[in-house]
Amino acid sequence: MNVIELAAWTHAEFVKIHPFVDGNGRTSRLIMNDQLMVNGFLHSGFGRTETGLL
């Protein structure tokens, strides 16, 4: 499994197990970005969304 596949798999599995009441998506994106950045990829740039989109 390459780094991108591993990061995507980790993200999906973390969201699937849903360990927290709130913040699972944010935490999974943080973990995914950490895996990618440790391996030389740039930060994906996720941040705040516009009000009303969520």
39 is annotated as contributing to ligand binding: no
Query: Is 52 one of the annotated binding-site residues?
Result: no
Per-residue DSSP letter, 21: S
What positions carry a catalytic annotation?
Answer: 18
47 is in an annotated binding site: no
Is 23 within any annotated ligand binding site? yes
Q: CA-to-CA distance for 19 and 22, rounded, in angstroms?
A: 9
φ/ψ of residue 31, rounded to 5: -65, -45
Binding residues, by number, are 22-29
Binding residues for ATP, by number, are 22-29
